[in-house]
Chains A and B, each alone.
Chain A
């Protein structure tokens, strides 16, 4: 017997069938990496990426049976599959709008494509890790590539600055997470969620509490929850806009999914601690995010703060540690993808034009020049405020009901009040678009892809808002999967 054979006999072969989507993404990333060296055609690289991602998404649909594989380091269940599917689809939507943007900004790099793919791979690992180690690996993979993505802007000082801040603070965040993991390991002797679940259930002492709270801090930092949000406005503002859209939607939602899985599967018995902790972070995020957003003059930065506020709304669901709260979190984070990506792609579409700086002033009279695009933006803004029948209303409604069912009235009240406050800046965009005369009559150049993406997502926001049943059911099912899986290995 060779050593390899001995190893295989001892450990068994991992079930690669369920890893096909990840493998496809990895292969695509490597292919793009190589192709970028030899192929001049930028459209081709972009197409290659999209095809690879589409294949990955398609391969996910063919997986009929979940499994825990890679020696207990990787879980494929409906929860991870559903989230991975959304992540891949929304990455495609971000990527198809990347080329036109970076070319018009004269900052094209082929690296964008495979870096996004590696980030995506990291995020896919995050949502399907039943183990703190694989979670940590996924987190590092996605974080490090994100730092580079933010800084990839030719000769732009602010981009480097934003990336540097992101790197320092993100690094601090990962450091905190590793302390947290160390503490938890010291107490439980395992990284595995199921093991942690079993060890912790009867004795939740100070070591576990400290570990859990540090974990909350680290995860909160990654989810840009106040007071650990400092990197967000700078990184979001200085990154190329489609990348911002990718980070604000895809990366963030993956983090929310991971948070939910860790909380439910590893620490269900400490729910008093973490529900309280998330409630505080959520309240701070909602208050600070919304009030600071009020004073922004730049819409991109305003959306960055709005994204902080939305982290607050979504994390608030965790203050209600029961099925209703989890369902609300899953539903809101999925639909948040629509709004966040749509909003940023809208900006990126207009930003291509030289005289557009994302200031509120630029929005003046947009409804006259681009009535349809303005309508889409109006839908996004209404959805972010939470005006029915948009999906944002359903999201907030779900969180609100969950909070009330657990009698967390104070947080519910903060949610409502800050939502009212948020109308102040979202409606400002609408007001500038609809109630001012255009400064000049120059039309903006928009590509078909951008129109499609923005329109498609806006229609989704509206349709799912009117008929949320399907997505709500999906969230319900995922919740029950999650709860059922807790502690089972």
Chain B
């Protein structure tokens, strides 16, 4: 399995090559091609590794090199290759490959073309370091690295003020999560004396419940920031200022899913603490529902999809909190595919409409762009949860599982499903059909995108159709990583602990086979109810925005308070602005006043004036401060000395 090192380093090499020679020699389109080749190589390597693991169900723990030693513990760069990381790695590399290809078309003519692909390759490298890591330090390294790459890419068009601000915002908000995450890592290190996942799992049984809960919650704090869950979600919609392939890759398919992956990766830790699982579940549920309500009323095509991403990530966390880790990871995979498809579809629309973002100003472009429309429809149906698309097979089990486990969660997820279907088809009808609201000048130029953009769309659409039928394969494939009974690397006492933690989901039975699951949901009451909800959402969108039987404006007026709440995104941004931006400003003013004015100027000036040395000869000049300094120093010496001589 030694060849696995190719997976992360191939994009790194591409990054170095583009970084060194991008502007001088490669330029456009060669730098794009280098990047595509780099990521394609790692995609092939990871698929080979994936097949190996699928056949054998083994896990491999490769230590590439020792990085640094802290006490007895060696931090190493390493690869943990088991079904979970194999699946995540394959998702990252394969989706990246198609997005890279799409980007060669999307970024055409941009003056910073090489820089874009250098950043993208760097991002993929960091993401792979994250997914392949076998310890928390490397995970954190990748975690920060993807944050940096994301920052660079959101602000890619840094001459746009909004883009620069959004980059800064994402950076700052992510720091909040990262500090929690770092504290979690440190607490884990202090508790376990090691940071390797497998060793941590081995030592789980003897550790205090409170400490495990604290570790899990701190780590989850990091996941909340990275995966943009409430209350740290505000950066993601604004991050849409970046180029669309970036939104597709980083802010839909891969980076934002890192939090979900991390929770699954550390499943035994989370499963050891009921409080942690409950927190994951409720944060996920609330994000799933609240983000969906925010998505209802937005008009920016990319932001609508961004809110949808928030909401779907909420579903994944909810699944994990419910104990349905495999279902959560399957939804992650499926979401990566269809959300990348939706984003790339919207990117194709943006290219055709010269970066017009407001869906209220679009309309009737479906006929001119048949491939984009068709593939977007497939993505939208998958998101809404209509069979036979993959979204149905991955989202329905979560909602059905919630029904069996926790009614509260079920109600919100179920309501969210209705909203999801509604907002995505609102977007779909407004953009591609409905009345002709488009600027006539733009209308003349609407055209289908070139093949290097449509082919990734078609491939991803095909995957959206096909992937769902492999449900059983995926669930079985993940068992050695996520089902305690099958996990080879856990000792028995930890297995018992973990399976007790997951007991909330033990009575849930979800048909693993795709066909029997489809049959089951078409016959059972619950299945029909969920399906009917989705269809109702689509129908309502159709009635409101296509045939216009109900006027959306009137509805908005009728429920004005709610409409305003949703439109202002539940006032989260306002509250944060008031507390953090304004509060920080105030606080720094106070500190400056206390630090500079009172202490430094006050004491220095005050004492300086009193002293003979200053008062006589040098008092009127700047030099007068010196005696003040010396006096202050003397005070320092006296205090410092007395601290030791008299107090100890």
Contacts and interface: CB of A to CB of B under 8 A. Distances in A.
Contact of A168 (B69, B592, B596, B630): B630
Nearest to A213: B644
A312 interface: no
B175 interface: yes
B633 A209 contact: no
Given A217-B640, A288-B595, A435-B158, A401 B70 contact: yes
Nearest to A287: B595
Interface stretch (B140-148, B256-264, B322-330, B345-353): B140-148
A420 B179 contact: yes
Contact of B144 (A209, A280, A388): A388
B175 A230 contact: no
A168 B164 CA distance: 47
B630 A431 contact: no
A294 B592 contact: yes
A404 interface: yes
B636 interface: yes
Contacts of A221: 633
Given A213-B644, A435-B158, A294 B633 contact: no
A187 to B, nearest CB: 14
Interface in B187-225: 189-190
Nearest to A393: B144
A115 to B, nearest CB: 23
B644 A295 contact: no
B636 A228 contact: yes
Contact of B626 (A168, A210, A228): A168
B82 to A, nearest CB: 25
Contacts of A291: 591-592, 595
Given A169-B633, A209-B645, A291-B591, A469 B66 contact: yes
B640 A435 contact: no
A401 B187 CA distance: 11
Nearest to A231: B629
A301 B172 CA distance: 25
A394 B140 CA distance: 13
Interface centre among B66, B70, B164, B596 (most CB of A within 10 A): B70
B560 interface: no
A161 B633 contact: no
A240 interface: no
A401 B189 CA distance: 10
A227 B144 contact: no
A213 B648 CA distance: 13
Contacts of A295: 588, 592, 595-596
Contact of A420 (B175, B588, B643): B175
Interface string A273-285: 1001100100000
A477 to B, nearest CB: 13
Nearest to B646: A206
Contact of A165 (B159, B175, B626): B626
Contact of A404 (B164, B190, B595, B600): B190
B623 A161 contact: yes
A176 interface: yes
A361 interface: no
B403 to A, nearest CB: 43
Contacts of A437: 159
Interface string A191-217: 000000000000000100110011011
Interface string A393-405: 0100010110011
Interface in B117-151: 140-141, 144-145, 148
A164 B637 contact: no
A408 interface: no
B67 interface: yes
B141 A389 contact: yes
Contacts of B592: 291, 294-295
Contacts of B189: 401, 404
B173 interface: no
Given A469-B67, A472-B68, A472-B69, A213 B630 contact: no
B616 interface: no
A468 interface: yes
B71 interface: yes
A327 B648 CA distance: 29
Contact of A230 (B66, B596, B633): B633
A387 interface: yes
Contacts of B645: 206, 209-210, 213
Contacts of A280: 640, 643
Contacts of B637: 176, 214, 217, 228
Interface residues of B, number: 47
A152 B68 CA distance: 44
A469 B588 contact: no
Interface size class of A (residues with CB under 8 A): 35 or more
B407 interface: no
B147 to A, nearest CB: 9
A206 B175 CA distance: 47
Interface string A442-467: 00000000000000000000000001
B539 interface: no
Contacts of B67: 467-469
A39 interface: no
A434 B70 contact: no
A420 B641 CA distance: 31
B640 A277 contact: yes
Contact of B636 (A161, A210, A217): A217
A373 interface: no
B6 interface: no
Contact of B623 (A164, A404, A423): A164
Contacts of B159: 437
Contacts of B368: none
Nearest to A167: B626
Given A209-B645, A420-B175, A294 B588 contact: yes
B168 interface: yes
Contacts of A294: 588, 591-592
A217 B638 CA distance: 10
A27 interface: no
B143 to A, nearest CB: 9
B297 to A, nearest CB: 31
B591 A172 contact: no
B299 interface: no
B68 A468 contact: yes
Nearest to B629: A230
Contact of A394 (B66, B68, B148, B633): B68
B523 interface: no
B186 interface: yes
Nearest to B594: A291
A324 interface: yes
Nearest to B159: A437
A304 B378 CA distance: 59
Contacts of B623: 161, 164-165
Interface in B67-111: 67-71
15 contacts: A161-B623, A169-B626, A169-B629, A169-B633, A172-B630, A209-B645, A213-B640, A217-B636, A277-B644, A291-B592, A291-B595, A294-B588, A424-B588, A435-B155, A468-B68
Interface of A: 161, 164-165, 168-169, 172, 176, 206, 209-210, 213-214, 216-217, 221, 227-228, 230-231, 273, 276-277, 280, 288, 291-292, 294-295, 324, 367, 387-389, 394, 398, 400-401, 404-405, 416, 420, 423-424, 431, 434-435, 437, 467-469, 472, 476
Interface of B: 65-71, 140-141, 144-145, 148, 155, 158-159, 161, 164, 168, 175, 179, 182, 186, 189-190, 588, 591-592, 595-596, 600, 622-623, 625-626, 629-630, 632-633, 635-637, 640-641, 643-645, 648
Given A172-B633, A214-B637, A227-B636, 14 more contacts: A168-B629, A169-B630, A209-B648, A228-B636, A295-B592, A295-B595, A387-B144, A389-B145, A401-B189, A416-B179, A420-B179, A423-B175, A467-B67, A472-B68
Closest 7 CB pairs of A and B: A227-B636, A230-B629, A435-B164, A213-B644, A295-B592, A388-B144, A401-B70
